[in-house]
Structure 1
Amino acid sequence: MKRRATTGDVVEERRAEQAPGPVGSVLFGALSSFRKDTLRLLTELQREYGGVARMKMGPYLVHQVTAPEAVRHILQDNARNYVRGRFYRGFNLFFGRGMLTTDGAEWRTRRAVGRPFFHRAGLRARSDVITGTVEELLASWEPSARSGEPVDITDDMMRLAMGVLGRMLFGVDLRRYADRLLPAVRFSLKAMIITGEVEQLLPRWVPTSYQRSLKRHQRTLNDVMDEIIDLHRRGEGSPDSVVTALLKATHGATGEPFTQRQIRAELKTLFLAGHETTGCALTWTLYAIARHEDVRRALDAELTEVLGGRVPTAEDLDDLPYLRAVVDESLRLYPPIWLFPRDAIADDRVGGYHVPAGSTVLVPVYAAHHNPAVWDNPEAFVPERFCPAQTARPANSRPANSLSACPRSTTDTDADAETEGAPRQRDRYDYFPFGGGARKCIGMDLALLELRLAVAMVVQRYRLELVPGHPVSPTALVSLRPQPGVLLRIGPADRDRTAPSA
């Protein structure tokens, strides 16, 4: 007779199905390493244990997923089994219950209100809003270009992203609130990541300086959003803005209008997620160009050939493949959204391993984008790896003639490559700076449009040079922030606007 399986047999079977991973300390597991250097821990975990790894972080069981088929399973194929979970609890401190932090029908209702504002054709038709905002930034840099004084471009990129977001979506120029908002954003980026520090774990009613700062910055964000909502209620905002749409929206199940608190939560979500990630991406891309003279020359040559110094339009972007490759490579090396956390609702199998209900799954974009099994020389900035597949070169080579750095493709690309630049021979989930599945970042097309237009205009107008002795490193906050900042000298680009010889 066949022996009936016992509870002990089931336990042994589950152990056999466990993903590999570090043991860590008995009490805290990998939590101390996560606090100390998050990016290093996640990258080393991927390289040592592979595409699905298991670890303990304090009292929590965590699985890290970087293998493309496993990432697809979490974000797309079985996405209904994975909710925002415990890692998003800190986000509620500043976002509230908005599109980013909700699931199911509540999320679908909120997403439906915002979706019409992010259609690619509509965004492209209004690209002059982006180029006009960039022109204002470039003009503000003129005194620094004349004096040679270094500029920390991080806040400038955040203000630029605020200006675009406000004019495109909010019906007001958010830069008028920047002096109030920027300090609140800087504080929130740290406060939303729950690291286990004592000041974060104390009850809210304990009157510490941290709690006082937390409440002050929460109040600032709420006050600004309320001012923008009230402005629209008085009819002084744009009738075509997302604020107006939220004021008119109703919940599908109840037919009730959104409350002030619910509208405020959506606006905070669009503001914090929309400007912060794009501002970081712009900062990192300009930093990478300043670090790599050969990339700057190749990009300058393409821009000169196609634009001849004029302001780019959305239609020009199809004729600027190297510009696209530079932006895509920056998003690979420095993904602003560096992590997608989820919690499992029910037991699941991921990459052949058992993932129990209630455990946390981390999908670290940063580690996946730095995987040497997928990316040749992954720590190097090599835009050529994103050239069209039929002309792509090895990632460690760059042609001497920069005009041919990334020839235009003569064939159509698939939908994912068209929106995110991933060559067709790679798996869709080797490269996913905007996530995937139904919850792919709603602002992806706006971000890419803004990045490409802004980078083209900056490189045409100025030459950016790094300040010696000012190291920059990525820090894993809510977004991938450069620390301590990106300090650049700004000079005119005209002095070397000559094409290289063949």
Structure 2
Amino acid sequence: MATAVAAVISALAFFLLAAAWSILSSYYLTPRRIRLAMEKQGVRGPKPRFLVGNLPDIAALIMKSTSADMPAIDHNIVGRLLPHYQLWSKLYGKRFVFWYGSEPRLCLTDTELIKEFLSSKYVQISGKSWLQLQGSKHFIGQGLLMANGNKWLHQRHVVAPAFMGEKLKNHMGYMVECTKKTISALSAAVAVAGGNKEVEIGEYLTRLTGDIISRTEFDSSYEKGKQIFHFLTRLQSLTAQSSRHLWIPAGRFFPSKFRREIKSLKKQVEKLLMEIIDSRRDSKEIGRSSSYGKGLLGMLLAETYKKEAFSYTLELVMDECKTFFFAGHETSALLLTWTVMLLATNPDWQEKARSEVQQICGYQPPTADQLPKLTLLQMIINESLRLYPPATLLPRMAFEDMKLGELHIPKGLSIWIPVLAIHHDEEIWGRDAHSFNPDRFAARSFAMTRHFLPFASGPRNCVGQAYAMMEAKVILAMLLTSFSFTISENYRHAPVNVLTLKPKHGVLVYLKPLRN
């Protein structure tokens, strides 16, 4: 008996010592090692507080900068959304280290070094940090966006074909059909109002992109998908709020209201996803269909039956579904919403875009062959993505020591790429960097290869980039030939970051039908 008790005490002591060492290493020794390594290279930053780092400073600065709406429609939004970058870059230079909890982050705006870091050279030894994985595990889990190393490589290989080649072209019909429904709904609303109707266009575009991703990739309708979108939107908000707090693997250090609601929402999302998954599996198993479906979900389900080392589990399928349900409609809807706002406030460019669409497509929906010819519309979309990129930040952690240019990057240091700040840098884009000027994209220049990062860059760029651009062109082309739009006097300009860059109060525009 005494021997058994001694063994238990010994095991407990070992566990406590191991836990103490892990905490000491994570929250003191590793951060100290990285801080000293960067200071030797002349890279400094704000002094961190124990455990929380600079999180309280960041939260306070953002709360202050976003406490009120902007007094006018001004695209100079870096100081509003990244006030900590603006402050610290003035104090320490554009290359500085700050602390997100115990995680050190190197702010990097040198676009040559960014291009090198995002290249295939470092793709296997950099990726999402433990802190990022913890923050998103109940939101999008281990889907492609959060995967690392060989797992990411396999998931990318499985997912990519759903957004390429003939599969992409086959989506055109759904995109046109869904857009026609939205235009009919908008036309009906305008008719009731007597020909000039104020609408919050973001709501319509969110429903539209949700309907499209539901049909093209999940063999479902928006009626089914909208419940998932509702829960994911709430999860997104809670995840953004929880990111202001420190993630420690002990519930009492994390606000319980977040933990309880996040877990509850996760269960509800997964219950709905299982209904869609079971429907596809049942159709295959009882012979109603020869496959699990043509879209992404069908490809993922087929993958679960392969006996490879990295075959998909049902849990990973659901994580992938959450990732693409979110990314496949949220970022596209925001791109479209901001673009409509920019066209509504720049009527000359709106008319130029409309003339191009009418010249190439007439009053018919665009075809796949016509989309590449809409070059001016592409320039407008690029300028919208430059001014209002859906993802304003791009953080990646170094899993091994690496050399980046003249910099030694120690293992455990995150590279924090402030996409929004780079997109608004006057040294790169000129004195009109905060102005809407699509002409800057008239020539395929340096901007498209190094300084323009709305979809990231390198092997880990957005796998759905071609899908998003096709969808945006189809929808905008059809909207432009159906309505003219002007900004409402009730529109309040208040961009905010809730994981993605959103208009806080939506975008209110007046729609005027162009054809009866």
Provide the TM-score with structure 2 as the length reference: 0.80
- The 8 Å contact of residues 204 and 211 in structure 1, kept in 2 or not, is answered as no
Q: 1:365 and 1:253, CA in 2 relative to 1: closer, same or farther beyond 3 A?
A: farther
Aligned twin of 1:228: 276
Following superposition, the deviation at residue 313 of structure 1 comes to 1.3
Aligned twin of 1:316: 370
- The 8 Å contact of residues 386 and 452 in structure 2, kept in 1 or not, is answered as yes
Task: Give the Cα–Cα distance (whole angstroms) in 2 for the partners of residues 12 and 438 of structure 1.
Answer: 31
SS in 1 for 2:370: helix
Deviations 1:250-269 (A, max 9, x none): 58884585332122111111
In structure 1, give the amino acid aligned to 2:358: T
Please list, as runs of the form range in 1=range in 2, the aligned pairs for 1:17-416 lying within 5 A after superposition: 17-23=41-47, 30-35=54-59, 36-37=61-62, 38-43=81-86, 45=88, 51-76=94-119, 77-85=121-129, 86-146=131-191, 147=193, 148-173=196-221, 175-193=222-240, 194-197=242-245, 203=251, 208-235=256-283, 239-250=293-304, 254=308, 258-376=312-430, 377-387=432-442, 389=443
Following superposition, the deviation at residue 479 of structure 1 comes to 1.5
Task: Give the Cα–Cα distance (whole angstroms) in 2 for the partners of residues 340 and 252 of structure 1.
Answer: 33
In structure 1, give the amino acid aligned to 2:426: P
Task: Give the Cα–Cα distance (whole angstroms) in 2 for the partners of residues 23 and 437 of structure 1.
Answer: 33
SS in 2 for 1:100: helix
Task: Give the Cα–Cα distance (whole angstroms) in 2 for the partners of residues 165 and 21 of structure 1.
Answer: 42
- The 8 Å contact of residues 118 and 442 in structure 1, kept in 2 or not, is answered as yes
Q: 1:486 and 1:201, CA in 2 relative to 1: closer, same or farther beyond 3 A?
A: farther
Following superposition, the deviation at residue 484 of structure 1 comes to 2.0
- The 8 Å contact of residues 52 and 351 in structure 1, kept in 2 or not, is answered as no
Larger CA deviation: 295-304 vs 453-462: 295-304
Please list, as runs of the form range in 1=range in 2, the aligned pairs for 1:434-449 lying within 5 A after superposition: 434-449=455-470
Q: 1:24 and 1:265, CA in 2 relative to 1: closer, same or farther beyond 3 A?
A: closer
- The 8 Å contact of residues 300 and 317 in structure 2, kept in 1 or not, is answered as yes
Q: 1:246 and 1:215, CA in 2 relative to 1: closer, same or farther beyond 3 A?
A: same
Following superposition, the deviation at residue 337 of structure 1 comes to 2.0
Task: Give the Cα–Cα distance (whole angstroms) in 1 for the partners of residues 151 and 210 of structure 2.
Answer: 27
Following superposition, the deviation at residue 491 of structure 1 comes to 1.6
Larger CA deviation: 209-218 vs 427-436: 209-218
SS in 2 for 1:373: helix
Following superposition, the deviation at residue 197 of structure 1 comes to 3.9
Task: Give the Cα–Cα distance (whole angstroms) in 2 for the partners of residues 11 and 275 of structure 1.
Answer: 40
SS in 2 for 1:315: coil
Provide the TM-score with structure 1 as the length reference: 0.82
- The 8 Å contact of residues 332 and 472 in structure 2, kept in 1 or not, is answered as yes
Following superposition, the deviation at residue 109 of structure 1 comes to 2.0
2:453 is the counterpart of 1:432: yes
Q: 1:353 and 1:247, CA in 2 relative to 1: closer, same or farther beyond 3 A?
A: same
Task: Give the Cα–Cα distance (whole angstroms) in 1 for the partners of residues 254 and 104 of structure 2.
Answer: 30
2:480 is the counterpart of 1:459: yes
Deviations 1:55-96 (A, max 9, x none): 233433211122111211221132332121022321111112
Following superposition, the deviation at residue 305 of structure 1 comes to 2.1
SS in 1 for 2:454: coil
Following superposition, the deviation at residue 452 of structure 1 comes to 0.9
Aligned twin of 2:72: none
Following superposition, the deviation at residue 45 of structure 1 comes to 4.7
Task: Give the Cα–Cα distance (whole angstroms) in 1 for the partners of residues 294 and 51 of structure 2.
Answer: 54
Larger CA deviation: 438-447 vs 182-191: 182-191
- The 8 Å contact of residues 380 and 438 in structure 2, kept in 1 or not, is answered as yes
Deviations 1:3-39 (A, max 9, x none): xxxxxxx998853313254457788554234324242
Counting matched residue pairs gives 451
SS in 2 for 1:262: helix
Unpaired stretches in structure 2, ≥5 consecutive residues: 1-33, 63-80
Please report the RMSD computed on the Cα atoms of aligned residues, expressed in angstroms: 3.0
Q: Identity of aligned pairs, percent?
A: 25
Task: Give the Cα–Cα distance (whole angstroms) in 1 for the partners of residues 104 and 311 of structure 2.
Answer: 40
- The 8 Å contact of residues 106 and 413 in structure 2, kept in 1 or not, is answered as yes
Q: 1:55 and 1:303, CA in 2 relative to 1: closer, same or farther beyond 3 A?
A: same
Larger CA deviation: 44-53 vs 153-162: 44-53
